[in-house]
Structure 1
C-alpha cells in the first residue's frame, strides 16, 4: 500500500487537474452565459423600446384622430351656421331688393309724370362762341 504522502500526492494531482478542468469549464460557461445575458438584455431593451415606440405611435395616432374629429366637427358646425346665416341674410337681401325695386319704380313713375317725356332743344341761332340752343317751351 502507498504511504500517506503518496496517496495525498495522487489525490492532489488528480484533484488539481479536475479542479483546473472545472475552472476552465466554468470560465467557458461564464462567457456563454454572459453572451446570452447580453443578448437577452439587448432583446429586452429593443422590445421595451418597440413597446414604448408602439405605445407612442398608438397614442399619437389616437390624438391625431381626435384632433381631426374635433376639426371636422368644428368645420361642420361652421358650415351649418354659415348656411343658416346665408338663408337668413338671403331672405333679408330679397326683402331689401324688393324694397329697392319698389323705390326705383316709384321714383321712375314720379319722374315720368313730372317731365312727360324727354326735353327737346330748340336752335336759337349762332353767336361768337357757336350755336345757341335752349329748351323748347311746352305751353
Structure 2
C-alpha cells in the first residue's frame, strides 16, 4: 500500500546533491533494467549513505535496495511504470533546490516541503521524492532564517 504526503526537511547543498544522486541510482538500477539487482543498487546507494535515512527512511544501502527490489518485483507493469515516472520527476525537480542554493550563496541550508510517495514494506517503509519541492525558508550563513511564502 502507498501513501502520498508533503514533509518539510531542512537540507544543505551537499545533502540535496546526495539525495539527487541516490534517487538517480534508484531509477537507473531499478526501473531502467529488466531485472533489478539488489546488490548492484546497494553498491551504488552506498555513496549516498548520509541521506538514506533522512530521505528514503531506510538507513542502510542494503536495506533500502532490498526493499525497493521487493516492492518493484511485486508490481504489475503499469504500477512500475508510474512509480518510475515519479522517481524520475523527483530526481529532476531536485535540481531546482541545487540551483537555488548555488544562486543564493548567502544561504547555507533551506527548509523545503517535499512530496513523498511511501510504500509499506515488511521490513519497514520506503519512500521516494516524487516532484517539485516548495522552499519555505533559507538560512543565512551564521545567521537567521528568511521565511518564504
Normalising TM by the smaller chain, what interval? under 0.3
Q: Which has the higher helix share?
A: 1
TM-score when normalising by structure 2: 0.21
Structure richer in strand, relative to its length: 2
Higher relative contact order by CA 8 Å / sep ≥ 6: 1 or 2?
A: 2
**Largest Rg, 1 or 2:** 1
Q: Please, what TM-score do these two structures have when normalized by structure 1? A: 0.22
